[in-house]
Chain A
Amino acid sequence: MRRRTRRFTLELMITTTALTKSYQDVPVVRDVSLRCEPGTITGFLGANGAGKSTTLKMIVGLARPDRGTATIDGRPFVELPNPTRVVGMLLDASAMHPGRSGRSTLTIAARMAGVHPRRVDHLLDLVGLTDAADKRVGAYSLGMRQRLGIAQALIGEPLALILDEPANGLDPEGIAWMRTLLRDFADHGGTVLLSSHLLHEVQATVDHLVVISGGAVVAAGRLDDLLASTTILVRSPDPVALSAALRAARIDYVAGPGDAFTVDVADGWVTTEVLAGVARDHHVLLTELRQSETNGLEQLFFSLTNAPAREVAA
């Protein structure tokens, strides 16, 4: 049972409108618009250098956009009286003083946020750093710093989280742990925006996806919708008859994998139902008919990011 007690007058927690920024006349972010709702995890996916970090930094006031606006909970980040009470951030886990212990680092963040110091111990326990709490951060592994960064992001009891590559340095167990944590956070009404270049990590974690390439958004929507719009795999013991049926129905396909065919459904009208109907009409026996699942997001990711990336580099 989800607890959605948020006031309904303001459904969007994190928004950006046409954020644009250049560094030395090189466009880094172009017209990026995002909308993140409470209760959801939005993945911000792109190759390294696609503009993810710059976009996140503009949202939290660390970088100034040339054009466009960003709001958290209805106002610009820099106008939030005590921002970490509204949005917790992990932008760079290595940007911590190496000479301070994990506990001291969190204690300072707790004082700034104005929360009870006891929350420091809660969070150290939550991220599994209780035993290492009094070691210097300089002696932490990247994964431990990432955990400390998560704890720091949560210190102000925020409504939203903005995390830049949070899975970096985490082992598979740690990634699974974070997935559970973020899902719980969202299920309790929290809003999560996380960036990644790790496709499988995003695929398993997020509800919504925004794909960025060359500084511009090239795809955005619900994960299920984006995945569903890729390809359908169809297989028959009689491939020749199947290919004839598909041609007759004017359905584009490519051969493979194996003796199956892959049908592109990007234009929307071809569904598994349509294909089943075509097979029936042409008396072709089907032994397999399903959405292609093998690396669905990976195919999407590469098909969406490759061409525009070249365009920008040119």
Chain B
Amino acid sequence: MSASLSTRTLGVDTTRSAAGPIPFSRLVGVEWTKATDTRAARWLLAIVALSTVGMMLAPILAPKRFDQTYTGYLEVASIPQVLFLPVVAILMLTGEWSHRSVITTFTQEPRRIRVVTAKVAAALMLGTGAAVFGGVVTAAGLGVATASGRTIEGSLSVGDITGYLLYLLLNVLGGVAVGALVHSSATAIAAYFSLNIAVALLGTASTLIADWIDTATTWTWVLDNDWGGHAPQVAVSTLVWVVIPLVAGVVRTQRRDIG
């Protein structure tokens, strides 16, 4: 610890020109780092990865119970991913409120909408990474199944693959939107799952809810690349689960006093 300081160390450089705004790419990079550089974050990502690999054993070990098709294997990979990725996404949005480091973040970039947008972008990058990983795991699973002499039917079209990617990203956005609106991690996670379950239950009583609101139905059409007549339903459910809470969350974040 040194008490004598050079001017440079103190950095009171009164003649330098004003620094420019923070580039958006830098904000996204920093948010990506924050989402991946702590032990807790890495455990969570490891759980997503391990559960994807573990789940892939199911259609290999229990061939009677799972469709032995290319798309069937890809859907298996998505099952644990859409369970855990929204939680990762929620924590990416709420984590800084829980640790109160928003005090630092929003004084570094007071245009809070840019920070939220950067977090959303980082979450989508993570979702894309998870999709690539899921694709690799699916390919490995298919390889093992084929090597064991099993016949796998069908093939994977570009539509199947983009459907899978979109399905993951929509689920990530569902988590992002809840996290952006509800700033407490625990409350956001509880709200996310209980609302999904509640809508699923209501869906059993009302096909209107099941077909227009329940993303377990509508987003599965996206996964299945089954857009025939479903585009409005996908749009409406995405409006309800992503657009509205995300916009409300941005407004709330902009206005909220941080104490």
The residues of A with any CB-CB pair to B shorter than 8 Å are 3-7, 38, 53-54, 57, 60-64, 77-78, 80-86, 89, 91-92, 94-100, 104, 108-109, 111-114, 122, 125-128, 152, 154, 156-159, 177, 180-181, 184-185, 188-190
Contacts and interface: CB of A to CB of B under 8 A. Distances in A.
A81 B19 contact: yes
B111 interface: yes
B16 to A, nearest CB: 8
B101 A96 contact: yes
Nearest to B99: A97
B101 A83 contact: no
A112 B2 contact: no
B108 A126 contact: no
B54 interface: no
Nearest to A185: B10
A95 B19 CA distance: 26
A125 B110 contact: no
Interface stretch (B30-38, B168-176, B190-198): B30-38
Given A99-B40, A184-B10, A112 B30 contact: yes
Given A98-B99, A100-B37, A122 B9 contact: yes
18 contacts: A62-B103, A62-B106, A62-B257, A64-B255, A77-B107, A82-B19, A85-B18, A85-B19, A99-B38, A109-B104, A113-B19, A114-B19, A125-B2, A126-B9, A157-B13, A157-B16, A185-B12, A190-B12
B10 A190 contact: yes
B20 A154 contact: no
Contacts of A96: 99, 101, 104
B258 A63 contact: yes
A125 B1 CA distance: 6
A80 B3 contact: no
Contacts of A81: 18-22
A89 B19 contact: no
Contact of A82 (B12, B22, B103, B257): B22
Given A97-B95, A111-B29, A114-B22, 7 more contacts: A53-B259, A81-B18, A84-B107, A96-B104, A100-B38, A159-B12, A181-B3
A112 B26 contact: yes
Given A92-B100, A112-B22, A83 B110 contact: yes
Contact of A177 (B3, B13, B37): B3
Contacts of A128: 1
B98 to A, nearest CB: 9
B111 A78 contact: yes
Chain A, interface SS category: loop
Contacts, number: 140
A74 B5 CA distance: 28
A89 B105 CA distance: 11
A236 B258 CA distance: 57
Contacts of A111: 26, 29-30, 33
Given A5-B15, A184-B10, A188-B7, A95 B33 contact: no
Interface residues on B, range: 35 or more
A291 B253 CA distance: 52
A60 B2 CA distance: 29
Given A95-B101, A190-B10, A61 B106 contact: yes
Nearest to A119: B11
A95 B99 contact: yes
B26 A62 contact: no
B110 A158 contact: no
A294 to B, nearest CB: 29
A53 B103 CA distance: 12
B2 A57 contact: no
A214 to B, nearest CB: 18
Nearest to A123: B9
A91 B111 CA distance: 19
B5 A63 contact: no
A91 B14 contact: no
Contacts of A38: 14
B28 to A, nearest CB: 11
Contacts of B255: 64
A181 B104 CA distance: 22
Given A108-B33, A185-B12, A80 B103 contact: no
B34 A108 contact: yes
A152 B37 CA distance: 18
Give the residue among B14, B107, B259 with the most A Cβ atoms within 10 A.
B107
A6 B100 CA distance: 35
Contacts of B22: 81-82, 112, 114
Contact of B110 (A7, A80, A94): A80
B111 A154 contact: no
B12 A57 contact: no
B99 A104 contact: no
Interface string B104-147: 10111111000000000000000000000000000000000000
B246 to A, nearest CB: 22
B104 A95 contact: yes
B110 A154 contact: no
